[in-house]
């Protein structure tokens, strides 16, 4: 009798617990489901870093241009970035962004595509200046800073149009300074800024700015085997930009320091056990010709090899170009050359070969 009562109570409790377990999810769904808009939770104030980035973007983004080009037959050729240089309508970008373009279009506002004219290019520093009609849009030039006092580790921001995504902000630091970046015709840009701010295809020509919102460089290249960002980007330093852009605006070109020679590939000098610039040919009437420099003769015998400029060793055409730029057009450079196995000094005037 007692045993039957026990099992009846046990069965009743088991059924009750089972009902609660099975019904709990329905009760929870009824009590907790959010089938109406949820209330917005007020956020805390932006951090100082967030506020700085937002303010810099708001101030700088209107000055950043989306550039696209078409070839001579009307097909799409490429895209890139640029920025407003002055209120007269000059836009700065990379030379390689507009190289070979039959038509260039600048977009400053989403619904305003403006035809642009190429004012001038300097491929050896990968810079170009475009011009748009300044009456059509309000132009806001970016404040210009200096690259002479930059420090590794300081925060920087890049704004551009990666993969056609307009006015994209990325943040990073200056990873290194005084890099050298190969450009056109065997030359290099000196003093290049290395950054880990994300730079991808389409960012080329866009501004690199510091935390004061000043232009400190023009984003120009990435170092990545797959062609997308891998933590290493490069920018032409603003001091170079500020030197060349006014010349491009004024004259449509930049004087190119040289002495009037063509050179053998670096491998030729290396095969001969030399560290220098082997002259292949001397242009008639050039500064090099007036100085008596010699190239390879008709029998294929090696001519002069330039070892140093004003005592500074040179091992490539890029080295030589940088040293001649340092000397300056119209000034005289003292070349250390190797001729017939003997070293000698030759004075040569640096000329404009552009």
295 and 277 in a common domain:
yes
Catalytic residue among 63, 81, 90, 96: 96
204 in active site: yes
The CATH number of whichever domain residue 103 belongs to comes to 2.40.10.10
Catalytic residue among 204, 286, 316, 319: 204
282 and 318 in a common domain:
yes
List, for residues 203-254, the tens digit of each pLDDT value. 899 999 999 999 999 998 766 665 566 678 899 999 999 999 999 999 999 8
Tell which of 232, 251, 270 closes a domain. 251
Question: Is residue 195 situated within a structural domain?
Answer: yes
Whether residue 21 has pLDDT greater than 70: no
List, for residues 142-187, the tens digit of each pLDDT value. 999 999 999 999 999 999 998 888 899 999 999 999 888 877 766 7
Question: Is residue 212 situated within a structural domain?
Answer: yes
The CATH number of whichever domain residue 286 belongs to comes to 2.30.42.10
Q: Domain range spanning residue 113?
A: 59-131
Mean pLDDT of 109-113: 77
Catalytic residue among 90, 126, 210, 316: 126
Q: So what's the pLDDT on residue 340?
A: 87
Residues 6+ apart with CB under 8 A from 255: 247, 329, 352, 354
Q: So what's the pLDDT on residue 228?
A: 61
126 in active site: yes
Distance from C-alpha of 208 to C-alpha of 160, rounded to nearest angstrom: 9
Residue of 87, 94, 96 whose CA lies nearest to 63: 87
Helix (H) or strand (E) holding 27: helix 2-32
Tell which of 208, 234, 251 closes a domain. 251
96 in active site: yes
Q: How many domains does the chain have?
A: 3
């Amino acid at each position: 009798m007692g045993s039957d009562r026990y099992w009846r109570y046990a069965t009743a409790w088991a059924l009750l617990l089972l009902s609660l377990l099975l019904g709990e999810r329905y009760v929870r769904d009824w009590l907790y489901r959010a089938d109406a808009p949820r209330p917005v939770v007020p956020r805390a104030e932006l951090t100082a870093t967030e506020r700085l980035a937002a303010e810099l973007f708001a101030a700088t983004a209107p000055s950043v241009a989306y550039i696209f080009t078409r070839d001579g037959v009307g097909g799409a050729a490429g895209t890139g970035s640029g920025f407003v240089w002055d209120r007269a309508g000059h836009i700065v970008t990379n030379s390689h962004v507009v190289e070979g373009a039959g038509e260039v279009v600048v977009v400053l506002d989403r619904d305003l595509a403006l035809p642009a004219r190429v004012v001038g290019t300097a491929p050896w520093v990968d810079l170009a200046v475009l011009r748009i009609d300044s009456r059509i849009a309000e132009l806001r030039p970016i404040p210009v800073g200096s690259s002479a006092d930059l420090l590794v580790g300081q925060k920087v921001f890049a704004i551009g149009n990666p993969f056609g995504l307009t006015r994209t902000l990325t943040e990073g630091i200056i990873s290194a300074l005084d890099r050298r970046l190969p450009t056109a015709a065997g030359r290099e840009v000196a003093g290049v800024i290395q950054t880990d701010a994300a730079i991808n295809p389409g960012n080329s020509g866009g501004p690199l700015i510091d935390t004061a919102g000043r232009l400190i460089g023009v984003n120009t290249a990435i170092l990545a085997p797959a062609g997308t960002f891998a933590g290493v980007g490069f920018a032409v330093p603003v001091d170079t930009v500020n030197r060349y852009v006014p010349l491009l605006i004024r004259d449509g070109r930049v004087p190119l320091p040289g002495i009037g020679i063509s050179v053998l590939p670096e491998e030729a000098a290396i095969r001969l056990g030399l560290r220098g610039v082997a002259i292949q040919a001397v242009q008639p009437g050039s500064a090099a010709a007036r100085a008596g420099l010699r190239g390879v003769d008709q029998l294929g015998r090696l001519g002069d090899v330039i070892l140093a400029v004003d005592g500074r060793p040179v091992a490539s055409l890029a080295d030589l170009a940088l040293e001649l730029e340092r000397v300056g057009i119209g000034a005289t450079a003292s070349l250390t050359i190797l001729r017939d196995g003997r070293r000698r000094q030759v004075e040569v005037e640096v000329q404009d070969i552009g």
